[in-house]
Amino acid sequence: MTSYFFHLLELADTFFWGYIGFALIACLGIYLTISTNFFQIRAIPSVFKTFIGFLRQQSQSERGVDPIKIFFASVGGMIGIGNIVGITTAIQLGGPGALFWVWVTGIIGSLVKYSEVYLGLKYRVPNDKGGYDGGPMYFLRQAFDYRFVSVAVCFMLCIYGIEPYQFAVITDTLSTNWNLNRYFVIITLLSLVLYAGSGGVPRVAKICSRVLPFFMIAYVSMSLWVILHHTLEIPQILLNVFTSAFTGHAAIGGFVGSTMILAIKNGLSSAAYSGDIGVGYDSIIQSESKTIYPERQARLAILGVWLDNLICTMSILVVLTTGIWKNTYVEGSMLVQNALSEYFPFMHIFMPTLLFIVGYSTLIAYFCVGLKCSHYLHPRYGKPLFYLYGVFTLVFFSFHDQTKALLLMRLVGALLLITNLVGIFFLRDKVAYTLEEEYAPSLEERT
């Protein structure tokens, strides 16, 4: 009975991401791209100028969190195990063509993310802790006349705020590679998540800004080293990527073959899940920024999507160039580790450490969002109930099939995607697509 139930959920997941999810992101992304005259491309210089500007200047506002720290908290929620494990599993299931749809999602999805973050800051409200509360539950009030829409989205974000898949992967990786007691790993990791999450966005931002940059640079550098050793094979690999994106991929070796729909479904859903495109998490995190200019923080959101897409691309190219993606007997969590092991020693130490760092940053960022949403639902009992739900869910899925946890996250993400993208479309005229050198009105002028 249980297997039949999950089989139905898998069918629903395939149908949504292969047809509905792709259509929603593609239509809104293409519409915004054309109507803004390819803003995400024109904004490239402005994005880096904004980032450097935030590094050099201190915000005059005493309320909120430093924009750069908020940026890394946002990236911490995006760049995680999904960029290494989930995305390479997508290649196993969808073939090399999934990489093409990862790129498509990154290009059009970055503009969707800009709009989402902009609206989150535009309609945020001050809270009693010296920060702000914002996100889809606030800007959707402007898009829909019914309050239950915001409540429903907030409830789903509470479910989404617990990341059982990444928690289970970290538990398996550490207990297997380092021969640690599984119960010890679960208790320690759970304690660290509760500690960081209870400190809110400021604590999460502080942790992510200190640990993420080093491991991001190290992973990209190692991946590039492997890819450069296969320079002569790159043209053929890219040809396979573009070809199988529209035709699917025939069975080869241990690979079972795929169709175009599987390539779209696995590439798009993995990229959207990894980059949190249209789900709403990022809008809540970035609404805590000190900046009074929504467009500036929103431009950093574009950079976040690019970084996320870069990490996904590096992971995919590593397994494609080494050919290890064809071996379906190797689990996703071991694909990149085995590929890098051919060129670097001590990968059984580095990869578990990397997965722990990026997975932990995602866990605490999501958990923080869940706490904020639970408080929105009920100021008194929301957070205690969320803590109970979080502890139970994380421990439960630590002893069960990881794919079931991932399926749960993707289906909830699908419902959030539908609601948020419709809301963003209704509010599209409220978003200002401005570049750094263009005039940006003050907060007083906006109001």
CATH number, residue 201: 1.10.4160.10
Print the domain residue range for 394.
Answer: 12-41+68-428
* Confidence at residue 447, expressed as pLDDT on a 0 to 100 scale: 39
1 in any annotated domain: no
* Confidence at residue 443, expressed as pLDDT on a 0 to 100 scale: 41
Least confident of 354-368, 406-420, 421-435: 406-420
Question: For residue range 10-25, what is the model confidence (pLDDT) as tens digits?
Answer: 777 777 776 787 788 8
55 in any annotated domain: no
* Confidence at residue 329, expressed as pLDDT on a 0 to 100 scale: 60
Distance CA 287, CA 3 (A): 40
Q: State the pLDDT confidence band at 446, using cuts at 50, 70 and 90.
A: very low
Tokens of residue 53, six digits: 């500007």
- Whether residue 40 is predicted with pLDDT greater than 60 in this model: the reply is yes
* Confidence at residue 135, expressed as pLDDT on a 0 to 100 scale: 93
226-253: average pLDDT: 83
8 Å CB contact between 63 and 133? no
Region at 321 (left for phi over 0; alpha for psi -120 to 50; beta for the rest): alpha
402-419: average pLDDT: 80
* Confidence at residue 336, expressed as pLDDT on a 0 to 100 scale: 86
- Whether residue 294 is predicted with pLDDT greater than 70 in this model: the reply is yes
370-396: average pLDDT: 93
Task: Tell me which residue has tokens 């993420």.
Answer: 212
271 in any annotated domain: yes
8 Å CB contact between 73 and 208? yes
Tokens of residue 197, six digits: 């999450």
52 in any annotated domain: no
- The structure's pTM equals 0.88
* Confidence at residue 359, expressed as pLDDT on a 0 to 100 scale: 87
- Whether residue 85 is predicted with pLDDT greater than 90 in this model: the reply is no
Distance CA 133, CA 156 (A): 17
Mean of the per-residue pLDDT values of the chain: 85
- Whether residue 81 is predicted with pLDDT greater than 70 in this model: the reply is yes
* Confidence at residue 439, expressed as pLDDT on a 0 to 100 scale: 47
50 in any annotated domain: no
* Confidence at residue 170, expressed as pLDDT on a 0 to 100 scale: 87
4 in any annotated domain: no
200-204: average pLDDT: 88
* Confidence at residue 444, expressed as pLDDT on a 0 to 100 scale: 38
Q: Which amino acid is at 7?
A: H
111 in any annotated domain: yes
- Whether residue 253 is predicted with pLDDT greater than 60 in this model: the reply is no
Q: State the pLDDT confidence band at 387, using cuts at 50, 70 and 90.
A: very high
Q: How many independent structural domains does the chain possess?
A: 1
- Whether residue 60 is predicted with pLDDT greater than 70 in this model: the reply is no
Distance CA 441, CA 85 (A): 43
- Whether residue 440 is predicted with pLDDT greater than 70 in this model: the reply is no
pLDDT top residue among 34 and 323: 34
- Whether residue 437 is predicted with pLDDT greater than 70 in this model: the reply is no
338-360: average pLDDT: 87
446 in any annotated domain: no
Task: Tell me which residue has tokens 């914002």.
Answer: 134
pLDDT top residue among 355 and 382: 382
Question: For residue range 146-189, what is the model confidence (pLDDT) as tens digits?
Answer: 888 999 999 999 998 888 888 988 888 888 878 889 999 999 99
Tokens of residue 27, six digits: 């239509």
* Confidence at residue 333, expressed as pLDDT on a 0 to 100 scale: 63
